[in-house]
Every structure is written in C-alpha cells, then in structure tokens.
C-alpha cells in the first residue's frame, strides 16, 4: 500500500520520473513472423504433410492417365491427356475371378454389411453403456470387466471358433453372419466409450429425471440421447471406418459373391493374369478409400457442432 502511494505522488510531482515510466514497453509484445521457432514449426509440418500427400498425389494422377502414358515411367508428372476410363473400368468392368462387374458389387456388399452393423452395434453398446453408468445392478462391475477383457484378446484367436459357431447357426458365408461378427466385436470398445461418456454427464440430471418419473427407456431416449450426439458421432466414425476397412473378417466369413469391397479390391489389384493396369488399380483403391474419407469430412463438422450443442454448464 505504502509503496504504491509514494510511487504515484512521485510520478505526478516529477516530470522526469513520469517520462521514464511511460517510455518503457507498452501493450502487446511484438512478435517476429520469421522467427527460428516458426521456421522450424512450419518447416516440419510442411514436410510431414508432403510426405503423406505425395502417395495420394501419385495415385490420383496415375488413375487419370492412360496405360501408354504410364509406361513412360514419369510417375510424378501430371496427366497429359486426362481420362476417366480407368475409374469407369474399376467401378463397372474390372474382373475378379469369373465376375467382370467391377467394384460396384463389393461396394453394395460393404454397404449392406456396414449399415446394419453400425446401427445395431451402436444401439446395443449405447444402451449397455447407459445401464452400466446409471443403473448399477448387481455384478455390473464384473460384467464390465469381462467386456473390457474382450477388447484385449486378439481377433485371430477367435476366428476358427466363430467359423464353427456361424456354421452351426447356418449363417456362415452370408452377410448376416458377418454383420453378427462385426456387431459383437465392436461391443467392448463401444460399450467402454458410451459408459464413460454417460458417467461423465452430471448425475443430478439422471436423478432429476427419476424424480420426474421417467423410466429406463424414457431417460435413455429423452434425456441421455439428445445430450450424446458427440459420442454417437465418435462411435459412428469408429465403426464405419473399422467395418469398411475390415479385410480379415470379410475374407474369412463371406463367399466370393458376398465379398466386401476391400476383399474385392485385393482380388482386382493382385490378379496375376494379363497386364497390370496401374491406372485401374489406383482408381479402385481411391474408390474404396472414399467412404471413410467422406465420413471423416462430413462428421468432423457435425462433431464440433455436437460438442457446442451439448454444452451443459455456463
């Protein structure tokens, strides 16, 4: 207190002192744009981006070239004559074994596998996560632990038993069988995700809803669901990309006419007869990878909006 007051009177009374005080740095400290730190930062970021983008660039330009141009061997040069022929061929004409109807069949198979698997697994996992977080029942902790252990067992161990189980159920080789497998294998990680999310929501909301007389499904549907858009988007991204990119289950549990897109892509790219059509292979790969990419782009925006809409505190 005393120090401040003496300083003030000194500054007012003595012009020299006041000038000395006001001459020093004021306000925001100026920053150099081309500092060493910035050069390092942007340099490394740029290099990393280039490293990841280069293969994509090669794939895109190659898929737009005709075979004569590819044979010249300049993989980085842009196409002289842009052609969409390889894309059409990859989608509708490429041959795998005896079928020559392109990737389109694999695409529709994958869609038929993915849509029900994603919906069913997210629904079941969200309900079980909700009941584990809010309706503690006897043995719920044990049940949860068993589920979590499931997430750490390598898939390969379980493939043969599952083949037998599916055969006995009479769904081996069908899309239904693969949907069941995807739903079950998505369960541990999704349930963990949902349980932790619901546990992080204020417990008092759940209590208030119970006082208001809402039951298990009413609280789930009318209180919890509307607040959980972000976690549903996260679960959807996980499941869509995971199921779409799956190769192992697809190749084990389906037959050639029900192969998902990834398996079919592999068969197109690795077929050994005739000439290797690099442009068609590139186009086919880009087509297969397009779905997860689109999901990321679309739901990324939704995700941010979901977080903003779910804001509880203020």
Partner 1 sequence: MNVVPINTTRASHSVSVRDLTLSFGSLTVLGNLNLDIHDGEFLVLLGSSGCGKSTLLNCIAGLLEPTEGQIFIKDKNVTWEEPKDRGIGMVFQSYALYPQMTVEGNLSFGLKVAGMAKEEIAKRIARAAEILQIEPLLQRKPAALSGGQRQRVAIGRALVRDVDVFLFDEPLSNLDAKLRSELRVEIKRLHQQLKNTMIYVTHDQIEALTLADRIAIMKSGVIQQLADPITIYNRPNNLFVAGFIGSPSMNFLRGELVEEGGRTVFRTNNVSFSLEGYETSEPLIAGRKVVLGVRPEHIKVDGDLAGEEAHEAVVDIEEPMGADNLIWLKLAGHTISVRVGGARRYAIGAQVRLGFDMTMASLFDAGTEERI
* Chain residues in the site for partner 1 (CB under 8 A): 202, 204-205, 207-214, 218, 222-223, 226-227, 309-312, 314
Contact of 155 with 185, CB cutoff 8 Å: yes
Strand partners, 99: 96
Min CB(204)–partner 1 separation in Å = 4
CB closer to partner 1, 16 vs 312: 312
CB closer to partner 1, 120 vs 205: 205
CB closer to partner 1, 43 vs 221: 221
Identify which of 84, 86, 88, 85 has the alpha carbon closest to the alpha carbon of residue 104. 88
Our measurement of the distance from residue 75's CA atom to the centroid of its chain's CA atoms, rounded to an integer in Å, reads 30
225 CB contacts (<8 Å, ≥6 apart)?
Answer: 126
CB closer to partner 1, 2 vs 211: 211
User: For the purposes of burial, counting CB atoms within 10 Å of the CB of 171, is it exposed (0-12), middle (13-18) or buried (19 or more)?
Assistant: middle
Min CB(233)–partner 1 separation in Å = 16
Min CB(313)–partner 1 separation in Å = 8
Min CB(309)–partner 1 separation in Å = 8
Contact of 123 with 217, CB cutoff 8 Å: no
CB closer to partner 1, 43 vs 226: 226
Min CB(212)–partner 1 separation in Å = 3
Q: To which residue do tokens 């389109």 refer?
A: 104
CB closer to partner 1, 70 vs 223: 223
Contact of 141 with 210, CB cutoff 8 Å: no
For the record, the structure tokens of 116 come out as 């029900």
Min CB(205)–partner 1 separation in Å = 5
CB closer to partner 1, 84 vs 216: 216
Q: What share of the chain is helix, strand, coil (3-state, %, to 5)?
A: 75, 0, 25
Rounded Cα distance, 144 and 15, in Å: 74
The conformation of residue 222, written as its DSSP 8-state character, comes to: I
Min CB(209)–partner 1 separation in Å = 8
Contact of 243 with 178, CB cutoff 8 Å: no
């Amino acid at each position: 207190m005393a120090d401040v007051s003496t300083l003030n009177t000194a500054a007012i009374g003595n012009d020299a002192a006041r000038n000395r005080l006001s001459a020093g740095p004021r306000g925001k400290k100026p920053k150099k744009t081309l500092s060493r730190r910035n050069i390092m930062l942007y340099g490394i970021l740029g290099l990393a981006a280039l490293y990841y983008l280069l293969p994509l660039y090669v794939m895109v330009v190659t898929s737009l070239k005709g075979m004569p141009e590819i044979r010249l061997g300049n993989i980085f040069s842009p196409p002289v004559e842009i052609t969409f022929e390889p894309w059409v061929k990859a989608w509708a004409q490429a041959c795998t074994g005896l079928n020559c109807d392109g990737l389109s069949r694999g695409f529709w198979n994958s869609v038929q596998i993915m849509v029900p698997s994603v919906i069913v697994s997210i629904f079941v996992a969200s309900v079980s996560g909700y009941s584990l977080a809010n309706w503690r029942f006897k043995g719920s902790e044990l049940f949860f632990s068993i589920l979590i252990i499931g997430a750490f067992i390598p898939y390969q161990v379980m493939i043969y038993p599952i083949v037998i189980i599916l055969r006995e159920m009479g769904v081996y080789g069908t899309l239904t069988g693969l949907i069941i497998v995807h739903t079950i294998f998505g369960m541990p990680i999704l349930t963990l995700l949902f349980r932790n999310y619901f546990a992080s929501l204020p417990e008092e909301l759940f209590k208030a809803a119970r006082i208001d007389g809402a039951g298990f499904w009413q609280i789930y549907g009318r209180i919890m669901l509307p607040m959980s858009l972000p976690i549903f988007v996260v679960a959807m991204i996980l499941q869509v990309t995971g199921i779409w990119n799956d190769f192992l289950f697809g190749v084990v549990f389906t037959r050639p006419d029900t192969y998902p897109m990834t398996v079919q892509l592999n068969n197109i790219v690795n077929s050994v007869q005739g000439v290797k059509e690099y442009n068609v292979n590139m186009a086919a790969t880009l087509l297969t990878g397009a779905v997860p990419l689109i999901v990321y782009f679309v739901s990324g925006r939704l995700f941010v909006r979901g977080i903003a809409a779910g804001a509880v505190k203020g």
